[in-house]
């Protein structure tokens, strides 16, 4: 974790919760001076207070530590809103049905913003019976490779993991409308609406 907790986050969450420093202090059994110190960066809450602080502010521990307030409304509603998180250290791939506070290898992961597919990342699709074959003309070296290809429609995520020195190809079962995603370790997340 690059930040333990910042004063700005505590203040922002406290104000969103419409609590005064005194009210928050009372919930945590600390002085209002202590809250003021945390918020102005002149002190940090003791580690034993971090869970009660998250509870008092009405957020998860990860939200408090990452400083992101997350509000997902009915996150199961549509898989098309799937977002991806990729760990730059170990390559872990985490699809989520909505925004989340995710960390891996000790770092908070940002939600990836996809770009429109183009160039060598353009995906040719060949349909054979009920399957789609995808073969990309893209390097698959240890330093530049496609890490995954995924098909996202209203009710499913089909994700195929690819590996360096393997083939840049996969089979999918694409039905109806959706997004075809790919992730290149150098060029990032790309997608195409189909
Ligand atoms: Fe690439």
122 & 181 share domain: yes
- State residue 97's pLDDT score: 87
- The residue ranges of the chain whose pLDDT is under 70 are 1-3, 69, 72-77
CATH assignment at residue 50: 1.10.260.40
- State residue 75's pLDDT score: 58
Polymer length in residues for the chain: 194
58 & 90 share domain: no
CATH assignment at residue 166: 2.60.40.730
- State residue 184's pLDDT score: 94
Instruction: Tell me the residue range of the domain where 117 lies.
Output: 79-193
The neighbourhood of ligand 1, an ion, using CB within 5 A, equals 184, 186-187
Q: Ligand 1 centre and the CA of 12: distance in Å?
A: 39
Distance CA(192)–CA(178), nearest Å, equals: 9
109 & 174 share domain: yes
Q: How many domains does the chain have?
A: 2
55 & 83 share domain: no
Does the residue 71 lie in any domain? no
Distance CA(86)–CA(98), nearest Å, equals: 15
111 & 188 share domain: yes
Does the residue 129 lie in any domain? yes
Q: Ligand 1 centre and the CA of 140: distance in Å?
A: 9
pLDDT for 39-86, tens place per residue? 998 888 888 898 999 999 998 888 888 777 677 666 556 788 899 999
Q: Cα separations (Å) of 166 from 94, 112, 121, 131, 137?
A: 21, 24, 16, 21, 13
- State residue 142's pLDDT score: 92
Pairing of strands 115-116, 188-193: parallel
94 & 156 share domain: yes
Does the residue 2 lie in any domain? no
47 & 115 share domain: no
Residues 102, 152, 127, CA angle at the centre, nearest 5°? 145
Inter-residue contact 150 to 86 (CB < 8 Å): no
Comparing CA positions, the residue from 98, 18, 100, 107 lying closest to residue 56 is 18
Does the residue 141 lie in any domain? yes
Distance CA(8)–CA(13), nearest Å, equals: 9
Q: Ligand 1 centre and the CA of 155: distance in Å?
A: 28
- State residue 76's pLDDT score: 59
Distance CA(89)–CA(68), nearest Å, equals: 22
């Amino acid at each position: 974790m690059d930040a333990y907790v910042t004063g700005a986050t505590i203040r922002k969450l406290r104000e969103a919760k419409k609590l005064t420093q005194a009210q928050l202090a009372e919930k945590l059994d600390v002085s209002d001076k202590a809250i003021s110190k945390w918020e102005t960066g002149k002190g940090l809450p003791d580690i034993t207070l971090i869970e009660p602080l998250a509870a008092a502010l009405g957020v998860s521990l990860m939200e408090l530590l990452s400083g992101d307030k997350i509000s997902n409304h009915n996150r199961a509603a549509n898989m098309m809103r799937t977002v991806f998180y990729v760990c730059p250290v170990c390559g872990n791939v985490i699809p989520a049905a909505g925004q989340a506070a995710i960390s891996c290898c000790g770092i908070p992961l940002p939600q990836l913003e996809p770009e429109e597919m183009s160039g060598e990342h353009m995906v040719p699709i060949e349909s054979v019976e009920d399957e789609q074959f995808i073969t990309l003309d893209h390097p698959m070296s240890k330093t530049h490779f496609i890490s995954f290809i995924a098909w996202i429609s209203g009710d499913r995520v089909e994700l195929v993991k690819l590996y360096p020195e393997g083939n840049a190809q996969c089979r999918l079962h694409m039905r109806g409308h959706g997004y075809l995603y790919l992730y290149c370790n150098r060029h990032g997340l790309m997608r195409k609406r189909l």
